[in-house]
Amino acid sequence: MREFQRTSLSVNYSVMKQESSSRQPSPFSEASVQQGVLTNGLRIITDAVPFVKSVTLGIQIDAGSRDDPKESPGLAHFIEHAIFKGTKRRTYIDIARNIEKHGGYLDAYTTKEQTCIYLRCLPEHLEPSFDLLSDLVCDPVFPPEEIEKEKEVVIEEISSVNDTPEELIFEEFDLRSFPRHPLGTPILGTEKSVEAFSDENLKNFMRQHYIPQKMLITATGMVHHDEIMLLGERFLGKLREPSGSQYVRQPFLAEDYTPFTLTLKKRVCQAQIVLGTAIARHDPLFYSLMVLNSMLGNGMSSLLNLELREKRGLAYNVYSSITFFDDLTAMNIYAGTDSNKTKVTLELIRELLQSDALKQPDPEEVLAAKRKLLGSHIMGMEKMTRRMSQTASDLSYFGRYIEPEEKTAALEAVTAEDIAEAATRMLHDAPYSTLVYKPGKQG
């Protein structure tokens, strides 16, 4: 799955300049964010939210599919599965029952740059839940029989992606866009690579990446910072940095992006279209690009939805997305349409990308896009798992927690001229690629 796209911002109910200042104070303003560092260097950030009655606790690891060994694509994701299969103190059944008998749940996900293992629980069960979460990342044992079964599970997950054209085309688009860079490899790996994973592969990866300097604990909801710090020291303080040389992530260079145009025959019912491009990370454009994406393809009133769906009936599903990686920014446009309408759909998308709507945007449209973006993220703040991941994204991408007021002000400050500059940089200066799946017999 294409998860954790780093487009999320943590915002509050601060009113925009054009709005009345008579609104009631936001409950989000009551939240209290505090940070700390354990004696082993592991960072902790707590976000106390007094109006919820639960705790969301996560451990983020700064390692994803772009950190997989070249010969073992999918390893980071497989470890996310494998740690649930047993630890020195718990079987896989114990792991499942320990959290659910207290009314909580446990989950995890892997992206191209991060892995997250998290749980939700009631405050009175925080200590045993913290113990369970730390046990997964500190003491997994990878029982051979369970690992072999889990390989079959992940292979089924790969098959599920292969049966879902919208997911598969994005995966192939990345592979062809970055053929010589690990950002192009599938998060899940391949059936062949998964079958080949060994116990030593898993342990070596964890020794390299599941270390204090690459981990972050986030606790959101009904939490107390001092208590989280004490529990962190108790359950995770034993983690230590490995001896020897440290892993260095392969950087992204301009030549790592390979523009292409390709149409393939696939066993699909409708044509699948993805256009996209990538540019080097440029922080001054961060908020402008967020608003640009909101205008272009986020929601019912977006330019793409109005032009392709509402005006012409060419697509049921059409949108744009933006992904902020550590060292590059990628933008994609997706549409699903009748095979006979592929040409006109592509022409309209390309015309829209060159139109005055982006080159000389209407200030009122920019304002509407900002409000749409702010509203979406405000509502996202009511979801504690979303809130947890947003806090982690701040520290991962910016190196610090960004106050909601700072983010709100940065979004408010985006102008029509900023959108024009972002569109020029993202959509015109960098060549974009096109991948189309059309119904037919695969060659």
Q: List the CATH number of the domain containing 342.
A: 3.30.830.10
Query: 224 with 268, same domain?
Result: no
Alpha helices in 249-341 (DSSP H): 286-297, 303-304
Share the mean pLDDT of the chain.
Answer: 91
According to the model, what pLDDT value does residue 380 have? 86
Q: Which of 311, 309, 317, 319 is nearest to 276 (CA)?
A: 319
The mean pLDDT of 342-363, rounded to a whole number, is: 96
Confidence band, pLDDT 50/70/90 cuts, at residue 164: very high
- Domain assignment present for residue 246? The answer is no
Domain for residue 31, yes or no? no
Among 12-16, 140-144, 292-296, 362-366, which stretch is predicted with the lowest mean pLDDT?
A: 12-16
Give the model's pLDDT for residue 31: 63
pLDDT at 180: 94
Nearest to 358 by CA among 305, 289, 312: 289
Plot region of 324 (φ>0 → left; ψ -120 to 50 → alpha; else → beta): beta
Q: What is the pLDDT of residues 313-340, one digit of tens each?
A: 999 999 999 999 999 999 999 999 999 9
Residue 409 confidence class, pLDDT cut points 50, 70, 90: very high
Q: Where a domain ends, among 205, 236, 267?
A: 236
| 1 within a domain of the structure (yes/no) | no
Question: Which residue among 30, 71, 80, 113 is the active-site one?
Answer: 80
Please report whether residue 30 resides in a domain: no
Number of domains in the chain: 2
Quick: pLDDT tens for 115-151: 999 999 999 999 999 999 999 999 999 999 999 999 9
Residues 15 and 364: their CA atoms lie apart, in Å, by 17
Task: Please check the confidence at residue 10 and state whether its pLDDT lies above 70.
Answer: no
Within-domain flag for 241:
no
Residues 287 and 417 in one domain: yes
119 and 228, same structural domain? Answer: yes
258 and 189 in one domain?
A: no
% of the chain at pLDDT higher than 90: 85
Per residue in 39-53, pLDDT (tens digit) is 999 999 999 998 999
Structural domain of residue 422, as residue ranges?
A: 254-439
- The residue that leads in pLDDT, 207 or 24, is 207
Do residues 215 and 261 share a domain? no
Q: How many Å apart are CA 94 and CA 36, to the nearest integer?
A: 31
Name the DSSP class of 16. Answer: P
Answer yes or no: do 422 and 335 share one domain.
yes
Asked, for residue 17, whether it belongs to a domain, the answer is: no
Q: Calculate ∠ Cα 15-384-123, nearest 5°.
A: 125
Beta bridge mates, 45: 35, 218
Please indicate, yes or no, if residue 244 is contained in any of the structural domains. no
> If you average pLDDT over residues 395-401, what whole number do you get?
92
**434 lies in the same domain as 318:** yes
State pLDDT tens for residues 257-287: 999 999 999 999 999 999 999 999 999 999 9
- Token readout for 234 is 């108790």
Q: Which residues make Cβ contacts (< 8 Å) with residue 335, sequence separation at least 6?
A: 273, 304, 308, 314, 315, 317, 318, 345, 349
CA 441-442-443 angle, 5° bins: 115
Same domain (yes/no): 299, 402: yes
To the query of whether residue 113 is one of the catalytic residues in this protein, the response is no
Q: What pLDDT sits at residue 244?
A: 76
Beta bridge pairs of residue 435:
262, 274
Shared domain check, 174 and 200: yes
